[in-house]
């Protein structure tokens, strides 16, 4: 079974600075999908960014980018120019290519933005 580990329960960053959230996973599959989801306080979980394992190029979405290291099974999220609205719980998630489209989540990282 696949597992996802986020080793940083909490992180904080100054507004306008850059922060990196870590995620590692364990799988025996060669193809899969990886996601970062954001859960703002008392608000709905939303997708931040996604990566296909067979694509070597790291995904980017505006201020959000990932560092995908397939051999190391690492999938970190970098947030540039942090904004107050980035404060949230961030979850890393894994999904297999085949079968049910269920997600396997990490423990989450609570990100605080300091003004």
Which residues of the chain form contacts with other proteins (CB under 8 A)?
4, 6, 9, 33, 35, 37, 43-47, 50, 52, 91, 97-98, 100-108
Q: Which is nearer to other proteins, 46 or 84 (CB)?
A: 46
Nearer of residues 3 and 18 to other proteins, judged by Cβ: 3
Nearest to 48 by CA among 23, 13, 15: 23
| CA gyration radius, the chain | 14
Which residue matches tokens 């989450």? 108
Beta carbon of residue 3, minimum distance to other proteins (angstroms, whole number) = 11
Min dist CB 102 to other proteins, Å, is: 5
Residue 9 vs 115, nearer CB to other proteins? 9
**59 Rama class: left (phi>0) / alpha (psi -120 to 50) / beta:** beta
Could you tell me the smallest distance in angstroms from the CB atom of residue 74 to other proteins? 17
| Min CB(16)–other proteins separation in Å | 28
**Rounded Cα–Cα distance for residues 70 and 14 (Å):** 30
- Please say which residue, 71 or 100, places its beta carbon nearer to other proteins: 100
CA pair distance 58, 51, nearest whole angstrom: 7
Tokens describing residue 80: 């540039």
């Amino acid at each position: 079974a696949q597992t996802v580990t986020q080793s940083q329960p909490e992180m904080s960053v100054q507004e306008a600075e850059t922060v990196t959230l870590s995620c590692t996973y364990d799988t025996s599959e060669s193809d899969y999908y990886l996601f970062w989801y954001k859960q703002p306080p008392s608000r709905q979980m939303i997708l931040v960014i996604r990566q296909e394992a067979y694509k070597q190029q790291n995904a980017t979405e505006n201020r959000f980018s990932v560092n995908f290291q397939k051999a190391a099974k690492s999938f970190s999220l970098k947030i540039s120019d942090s904004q107050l609205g980035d404060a949230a719980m961030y979850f890393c998630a894994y999904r297999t290519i085949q079968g049910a489209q269920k997600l396997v989540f990490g423990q989450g990282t609570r990100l605080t933005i300091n003004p």
